[in-house]
Amino acid sequence: MTKNILLKYACFGAIMAMLGTGCKKLIDDAYTNPNADVEQPIETLLPNMISNLVNSYTANGTNYGTVVDNYYIGRYIQYWCANANGNQYDKMGGATGSSDIMGNMWAAHYYGMGQNLNKVILWGTEQKKWDYVGVAYALRAWGWLSLTDQYGEVVLKEAFNTSRDQFDYDSQAEVYDTVRAVAFRALSYLDMTGDNVSAANLAKGDAYLFNGDVNKWKKFVYGVLARSYNHLSNKSGYQPDSVIKYADLAMSSNEDNAVYTVANETTSATKNYFGPFRANIGSLVQGEFITNLLSGNNTVFGVADPRAYYLIRENFNGTFKGIRPNYGATGTTGLDTADLPRNYWGGQYSSSKSLDPRYLYADDSPWPVMTATEMQFMKAEAAYRKGDKATALIAYTNGISLSMDMMYNYPNNIPAGKAMTATAKANYMANAAVVPTSAANLTLTQIMLQKYIALYCFGVSETWVDMRRFHYTDTDPATGAQVYAGWTPLSAADLYINNNQKLVYRCRPRYNSEYLYNIPALTALGALEVDYHTKECWFSQQ
């Protein structure tokens, strides 16, 4: 071979190499899907994630979040009942058959926030938007806690692996550890400044919760931490000081509250789920227990509560009456027709609407997700358990006061003379049965019942955690009386047949996720048993 020929071959080789390099770029260029968006600014992903705290609505799936599940869980704790007899959930039944009922928190955590949240972390890190990363972790911490409190054991370690088709469940203890780890990670990112951290930019995605206020997000995370310690009150390792510490760091005024606002535009997607436009809660009526607490019929407080005109609804006689679960049909309530409670939109005892919805029952009502009043009650309980009754009383008093003040934010349609005023509030709180004059007289019952009232409607999940901690009917060792005084559990005969005469302690995981496609894991867990929903969660066990 001549030198000339060798040169030709060298040329050939060089050209092949050039072709290869050129082609590589063309191949890289062709990878990304040009038709649909495979990447979006993280600012545009946050609104949906936040909506999953309450109720989501996207082109691919709606109603993930807490509010729809709480529509059912609210009956377990007797916040409300169905206006018909024998309702499965009034009877503390779990979801059955192919129903996804009470599976919306599952969907919110894994799918609604799910990979969207992972992408905010990934892209937020790349873009050095540490505030967004922190917010994403904050929501993830909230998600894990809310998820495990509702379902018990959940998929933790294998979650979000897009290449698995079976997922093992992990213990609730591990999920609790993760909640705190993720919460601390959230705090460390929320503490970061500089780079592309910007309140104005965070506000773009956060317009409907904190409007970009990182400090409020931190308080939100502290609130999650406070909850995570508070829920373990039955455990030997219970740390009341941690509850107090994080409750103090969390929201302390109603301005700090995590309240999800809605745009209330023409479409139902932008309206409050409990409002008349969406017409979801027409057949719900107030429970007898809450009504007695607010009307003064419950002997613990024994006075009319000015919040009654907000939280529940007076009947056509102008009085407050509630319904016993499982006995909601007009003929079996034991009430005269005019005493029958109206529904939450002021309609008659049916699904009908009036046009004067109050409080959280209007189309545009901002929905509290986590509030300062809750923090105060957690602190009160922890201090009380610790024996620091003086601190407990202060926190307890603050809790009531904050709860009453929240009413000022919902002035619409309150009958004349019934609106919350400083006087009404002061009168109520001046009652020694409500606020004991001496810290020594404070009882666990008072704390838990005032918390029950303060979290009415929006705080179903947290109240259910509380009631499960007290196994619904536990007694206060100090008084020997039932902590939730006046709360009547269902009789064995009134419980749903699948319950095997036991009270409800958890929701089953979402049917269309787990009961169709993750059977081996459910079998291992015992979740295929018909009374799985009566199995007590780890958090409330001693």
Instruction: Return the range that interacts with other proteins (CB under 8 A); candidates 37-45, 89-97, 303-311, 463-471.
Output: 37-45
Q: Which of 199, 207, 303, 530 binds other proteins (CB under 8 A)?
A: 207
Tokens of 365: 């009502």
Binding of other proteins at residue 527 (CB under 8 A)? no
CA distance 53 to 55: 6
Q: Which of residues 339-398 bind other proteins (CB under 8 A)?
A: none
For the chain, the maximum distance between any two Cα atoms, rounded to a whole number of angstroms, is: 114
Shortest approach of other proteins to residue 270 CB, angstroms?
5
Q: With contacts defined by CB under 8 A, name the span among 32-40, 87-95, 288-296, 412-420 that binds other proteins.
A: 32-40
Closer residue to other proteins, CB minimum distance, 13 or 302: 13
Judged by CB under 8 A, which of 122, 173, 249, 269 binds other proteins?
A: 269
- Smallest gap, in angstroms, from Cβ of residue 374 to other proteins? 23
Rg of the chain over Cα atoms, rounded to whole angstroms, equals 26
Which residues of 225-298 form beta strands (DSSP E)?
A: 258-260, 284-286
Binding residues for other proteins restricted to 61-80, rule: CB under 8 A:
61-62
Q: Which residues have C-beta within 8 Å of that of residue 283, sequence separation ≥ 6?
A: 82, 83, 84, 343, 350, 351
Q: Does 40 bind other proteins (CB under 8 A)?
A: yes
For the segment 227-266, give every residue that binds other proteins (CB under 8 A).
261-265
Rounded to the nearest whole angstrom, what is the least distance from the CB of residue 396 to other proteins in the complex? 35
The single-letter code of the amino acid at 501 is Q
Task: Name which position in 34, 237, 318, 331 contacts other proteins (CB under 8 A).
Answer: 34
Full DSSP string of 163-201: T-S----B-HHHHHHHHHHHHHHHHHHHT--STT--HHH
Residue position matching structure tokens 């060798």: 6
Interacting positions 150-179 with other proteins (CB under 8 A):
155, 158-167
Size of the site for other proteins (CB under 8 A): 85
> Can you tell me which of 193, 196, 215, 267 binds other proteins, judged by CB under 8 A?
267
Binding status of residue 514 toward other proteins by CB under 8 A? yes
Residue 56 Cβ vs other proteins, minimum distance, rounded to whole Å: 6
Applying CB under 8 A, which of residues 31, 236, 387, 477 lies at the interface with other proteins?
Answer: 31
Q: CB of 392: closest distance to other proteins in angstroms?
A: 38
Distance in angstroms (rounded) separating the CA atoms of residues 490 and 92: 8
Q: Other CB atoms closer than 10 Å to residue 33's CB: what's the count?
A: 8
Beta bridge partners of 62: 57
User: Are residues 71 and 280 in contact, defined by beta-carbon separation less than 8 angstroms?
Assistant: yes
Q: Is 528 in the site for other proteins (CB under 8 A)?
A: no
In the complex, the smallest distance separating the C-beta of residue 227 from other proteins, rounded to whole angstroms, is 23
Q: Does 205 bind other proteins (CB under 8 A)?
A: yes
In terms of CB distance, is 483 or 522 closer to other proteins?
522
Closest to other proteins by CB, 39 or 437: 39
Decide whether 66 or 397 has the Cβ nearer to other proteins: 66
Q: How far is the CB of 524 from other proteins (least distance, A)?
A: 14
Bridge partner residues of 259 (DSSP): 368
Distance between CA atoms of 354 and 348, rounded to whole angstroms?
8
For position 289 contacting other proteins by CB under 8 A, the verdict is no
Asked if 44 is part of the footprint of other proteins (rule: CB under 8 A), the reply reads yes
Of 119 and 385, which has the nearer Cβ to other proteins?
119
Residue 18 is a binding residue for other proteins (CB under 8 A): yes
Q: Toward other proteins, which CB reaches closer, 92 or 156?
A: 156
Residue pair 413/358 in contact (Cβ under 8 Å)? The answer is yes
Q: For residue 321, give both structure tokens.
A: 């009456």
Site track 421-450 with other proteins (rule: CB under 8 A), x = hit:
------------------------------
Q: Which is nearer to other proteins, 39 or 440 (CB)?
A: 39
492 binds other proteins (CB under 8 A): no
Q: Strand pairing partners for 61? A: 58
Q: In whole angstroms, what is the distance from residue 482 CA to residue 383 CA?
A: 20
Two tokens, residue 73: 């869980």
For residues 4 and 236, which CB has a smaller minimum distance to other proteins in the complex?
4
Q: Residues 28, 194, 237, 493: which binds other proteins (CB under 8 A)?
A: 28
Binding residue (CB under 8 A) for other proteins from 227, 358, 379, 510: 510
> Distance between CA 457 and CA 75 in Å, rounded?
11
| Contact between 512 and other proteins per CB under 8 A | yes
Q: What are phi and psi of 259, to 5 degrees?
A: -125, 120
3-state helix, strand and coil shares in percent for the chain, rounded to the nearest 5? 50, 5, 45
Q: Is 59 in the site for other proteins (CB under 8 A)?
A: yes
C-beta of 205 vs 223, nearer to other proteins: 205
Site for other proteins in 78-137 (CB under 8 A): 106-107, 110-112, 114-116, 118-119
Structure tokens at 306: 């000015």
For residue 523, state whether it binds other proteins (rule: CB under 8 A).
no
Judged on CB neighbours under 10 Å (0-12, 13-18, 19+), 235 is middle
Q: Which residues of 179-209 are buried (b: 16+ CB within 10 A; e: fewer)?
A: bbebbebbbebbebeeeebeeebbebbbbbb
Residue 199 as a binder of other proteins (CB under 8 A): the answer is no
Crossing angle for the helix pair 240-249 and 372-386, nearest 10 degrees? 150
